[in-house]
Amino acid sequence: MDRTLIVPIMKKEFIQIVRDPRSLAAAILIPIIMLILFGYAITFDIRQISLAILDQDGSLQSREFLRSLTASPIFKANRYLSTYDEIDGLLDRGLVRMGIVIPPGFSRALKRGESAPVQLLVDGTDANFAAVCIGYFTAACYRYSLNLTVKYLKRQGLGHLARAFPPISVKTRIWFNQTLRSENFIVPGIIAVILMMLAAQITSLSVAREYERGTIEQLIVSPIRSYELIMGKILPYICIGFCQVGLVTLAGTLIFHVPIRGSLLLFATLTGIFLIGAMSIGMLFSILTKSQQVAMQISMLSTMLPSILLSGFIFPIESMPKVLQAITYLVPARYFLIILRGIFLKGSGINFLWPEILWLSVFSITLLFLCFRFFKKTLD
């Protein structure tokens, strides 16, 4: 590979980039804007679930139960109702997500030591959200029942049993994300998705621009080889890609306080491998279509949806059908996502990340080879 031929192509590409400062500014700023928007908009933490409460018992015990429920930041009592029919209208209009009905006889059942029924009405249009709401409510009822049991035993002079209750004690230790902040899980995924989309888009214009402007003839008659031309065009965008990575990573650590526990050198090296593969996708479409508009549209469709839906960013791959699980192996963001979360949250090294590193390297080398293979120094 002749470096003296690649350098002029790189200079030419840098000049093209500098001549369009708006596109350059967009390429640098858009990742930060997307990170901030996605980082605040996408969260798995559920807070302030709106409740409609119908207390038909009206007793001290029912009020204590409701007070214990709404004391947590998870539930918020938006409506206190007087009739059962009001709940249907509130759920239909989406004004509340849950309805709680405490029937008459609630306090009497508790005093007799019997099970006291409580009806829970949940908006099930979002099945995952409904399941989480039910889980939160069930846990809150269990805590309240446990406190009642302990108080009852103490009143009966069985305090020694209260101290021994419950027989099973669970002590949980959470690794890697001790506070369970969704930002720590989301932000590395956002970085992978943003880089995948933008890296392919900015290179999708490179070769197609030469065909549309008629400057491809000058490159064809030059002594430079096809693979040297591709390398000369892709290297400037890799430099821009590293600027994007640096700014987005800095924003993620300063704004969202996401830790980086692993090696920065390993992070930079693997990011470079990922950028080569992602930018080769855009370069390949640019070579095949010879149209800037078509190449950008195909690059966006082929990177955005797979990166969001099939990389494990939002939906666990293990929960997908077997066919989709097989397709995810063709999505490079899947491997880079595991690498980022491993380096950011776990401090993982090569000894743990080598399968993803291997697959990512194979992907990048294959895409770069395809660019060399399909670019011909002809006008046909």
pLDDT per residue as tens digits for the range 217-233: 777 777 778 788 888 88
pLDDT at 354 (0 to 100): 93
**pLDDT: is 356 or 146 the higher one?**
356
Q: How many CA atoms lie within 13 A of 230 on its CB side?
A: 27
- Region 95-110: what's the mean pLDDT? 86
Distance CA 50, CA 42 (A): 19
In this model, does residue 5 exceed pLDDT 80? no
**pLDDT: is 21 or 284 the higher one?**
284
Confidence of residue 158 (pLDDT cuts 50, 70, 90): low
Instruction: Tell me the average pLDDT of the chain.
Output: 83
Report which listed range, 155-169, 184-198, 200-214, is most confident.
Answer: 184-198
Distance CA 343, CA 265 (A): 11
Cα pseudo-dihedral 100, 105, 111, 116, rounded to 10 = -40
Q: Enumerate the domain spans of the chain.
A: 3-43+181-374, 49-164
**pLDDT: is 151 or 163 the higher one?**
151
Distance CA 86, CA 215 (A): 71
Task: Name the CATH architecture for the domain at 49-164.
Answer: 3-Layer(aba) Sandwich (3.40)
- Region 118-128: what's the mean pLDDT? 82
pLDDT at 339 (0 to 100): 94
In this model, does residue 167 exceed pLDDT 50? no
